[in-house]
Amino acid sequence: MLAHHCAACDETYLIFDSQITGVMNTGHGIEISFTCWCGAEQTQVTGRYAGRRTPDVVAA
């Protein structure tokens, strides 16, 4: 379960496991795909690396 602010309906909802349609490991974290309560397909990056700056960004 995660909290997500939907870009389509502009509301923050709890997203339950049953709404998740995909999970993918990426270089910037774990990208979770799901269907919002409003019906919009959304993604959220989570996990240990979510929101971290890369060394290139810090050095810039």
Binding site for Zn ion (CB under 5 A): 6, 8-9, 36, 38, 40
User: Running DSSP on this structure, what letter comes out for residue 47?
Assistant: S
Q: Which is nearer to Zn ion, 18 or 55 (CB)?
A: 18
Q: Which is nearer to Zn ion, 25 or 43 (CB)?
A: 43
C-alpha span between 28 and 50 (Å, rounded): 6
Q: Which is nearer to Zn ion, 11 or 25 (CB)?
A: 11
- In the complex, what is the shortest distance from the CB of residue 19 to Zn ion, in angstroms, rounded to a whole number? 11
The shares of helix, strand and coil residues in the chain, as percent rounded to the nearest 5, are 15, 45, 40
